[in-house]
A and B are shown apart, each in its own frame.
Chain A
Amino acid sequence: MKVLIIEDEIPAAEKLVRYLNKYDPFLKILATLGSVEKSVNWFTTSDIIPDLIFMDIQLTDGLSFEIFKKVRITQPIIFTTAFNQYAIDAFKANGIDYLLKPISFKALSDSLKKFDQLKQNFARFQPDETMEILKNALGKDRKSYKDRFMVKSGEHIRSVPTDQISIFFAEGKNVFIVTNSKKRYLVDYKMEELDDILDPHNFYRVNRSFLVNIAAVEDVLVYSKSRLKVIPTQDFERDIIVSREKVAAFKDWFNGFNG
């Protein structure tokens, strides 16, 4: 079997070579390429076609995705990634294999065994699809934001989808959610944590105690001292005030310019 390695981190590349040789001493490693440029050059000038390619996502001069833009790759690829949950899901869903770094010998063996068994499926490998998948996996919105929250409802634990939450508010150390149907529940998160795990397109932290869902903003009124007041779609007993420092960013967010 002929293998091509596209990996910019030297220790990672050396380890992969070592493991591949351990798995199969007769396996031939055609080259180890560390950049998009070198990879494109190799594909355009090489006579030899690899049976399998190991490809890291981040290379010295860009993302491996760029390679697909310049050359057509029809050989099966096993991606290696340090930690990108969405990428993993995307690959899995499309039958492409991935290896999480640091790569364990067992994971590599399992992957190679799978490849051996599925060689015929790989023959129908679709390069355009791969590019799409990679593009999506690497798009900056593709961080996996929290899509549901566990809450206690009576004796039961239930899950509330994030898109049905209008408001997160804090009272003392506790944080509560208000759902679209006006129910409220305690959640096991602090306001600061929520800042990181909620999709910033949909949620904005207007002040220390409130996070609002853009879909739940009925109206925004001018309020004293250069502040704004958010009128939620459902009545809420407290005023939701956008603090002065946050007004500019709030306007950007509300108008859809979100970073």
Chain B
Amino acid sequence: QLKLSKEDNKRKELEYQLESFKNIVNPQLLYTNLETLITLIHKDKDVAEEFVDRLSMVYRYMLTNRNNELVELNQEIHALENLIYLLNEKYNQNISFNAQVDKEFMSKQIIPGALQHLTEYMVSSTIISDTQPMKLMCYVEEDYLVLEHRLNQRLIPLDKQSSGIQKVIDAYSFYTLKPVLQVKAQEENLVKIPILEVEEDTVLA
């Protein structure tokens, strides 16, 4: 009689959400971007074309990674840059993104879509305007990857369907006991996700 490890049993009990965010192509994101696109088509054809390229890169990334549990950090950050490009067309270039991640961490693992999901959530719950731009930062702190911005919270978030960070919490619970943390300090809002690593020595069987 084979017994599952204690940990597996614990995980079983979590009734755990297999609907990971990466499997859902966010309709809200698509509609928002199509709307932006319509405006751009009338305003500037070349910018509109660039926008379409970026939009397709964002979706291509999601589709490519539908069946990948983990991806390298540098890929996710690169994908996030494309998403921010799109969001900036809507927000009049008022989102700045700065990733300070050392080379050694760039090849560590992250759940694909995690940063994008968090960014969408942060953007939809923050006031972003010419006078109140959003400065988004990404850096490593101990074993965590941190996504942070200055707190400027909307009273009513733009995307009411957003599950906030719960999906990210659920998705990470599979891979680590380290929790995903959200900290809303005095002036900052940040989310910390554990940096994952696949053990080199196996190929386990």
Contact = CB atoms under 8 A, between A and B. Distances in A.
Contact of A156 (B1, B49, B199): B199
A76 B19 CA distance: 45
B11 interface: yes
A157 interface: yes
Interface in A176-190: 176, 179-186, 188-190
A: interface residue count bin: 35 or more
A188 B53 contact: no
Given A102-B56, A180-B205, A174 B12 contact: yes
A157 B199 contact: yes
A44 interface: no
A149 interface: yes
Nearest to A171: B12
A140 interface: no
Contacts of A181: 205
A150 B69 contact: yes
A190 B17 CA distance: 10
A189 B18 contact: yes
A197 B67 CA distance: 7
Contact of A157 (B15, B198, B203, B205): B198
B94 interface: no
Contact of B53 (A102, A173, A180, A182): A102
A186 B67 CA distance: 16
A188 B18 contact: yes
A188 B11 CA distance: 11
B171 to A, nearest CB: 8
B7 interface: yes
Interface stretch (A110-118, A129-137, A159-167): A159-167
B122 to A, nearest CB: 25
A164 B67 CA distance: 18
Contact of B69 (A83, A176, A188): A188
A157 B52 contact: no
A100 to B, nearest CB: 7
A104 interface: yes
A188 B20 contact: yes
Contacts of B15: 172-173
Given A150-B70, A188-B69, A189-B18, A237 B199 contact: no
B8 A100 contact: no
B175 A157 contact: yes
A146 interface: yes
A117 B189 CA distance: 48
Interface string B92-111: 00000000000000000100
Given A186-B174, A188-B174, A190-B18, A149 B69 contact: yes
Contacts of A83: 60, 63
Given A157-B197, A184-B4, A237-B2, A146 B67 contact: yes
B203 A161 contact: yes
Contacts of A197: 67
Contacts of B67: 146, 193, 197
Contacts of A173: 15-16, 18
A186 B202 contact: no
A151 B204 contact: yes
Interface string A220-238: 0000000000000000010
22 contacts: A83-B60, A146-B67, A152-B175, A157-B70, A157-B196, A157-B199, A158-B198, A158-B199, A158-B203, A159-B198, A159-B203, A160-B203, A161-B203, A172-B15, A173-B16, A174-B11, A174-B16, A186-B11, A188-B69, A188-B174, A193-B23, A197-B67
Given A85-B64, A152-B11, A174-B11, 14 more contacts: A102-B52, A102-B53, A104-B53, A152-B7, A152-B174, A152-B176, A154-B5, A157-B176, A157-B196, A158-B204, A164-B205, A184-B8, A186-B11, A237-B1
Interface of B: 1-2, 4-5, 7-8, 11-12, 15-16, 18, 20, 23, 49-50, 52-53, 56, 60, 63-64, 67, 69-70, 109, 171, 174-176, 196-199, 202-205
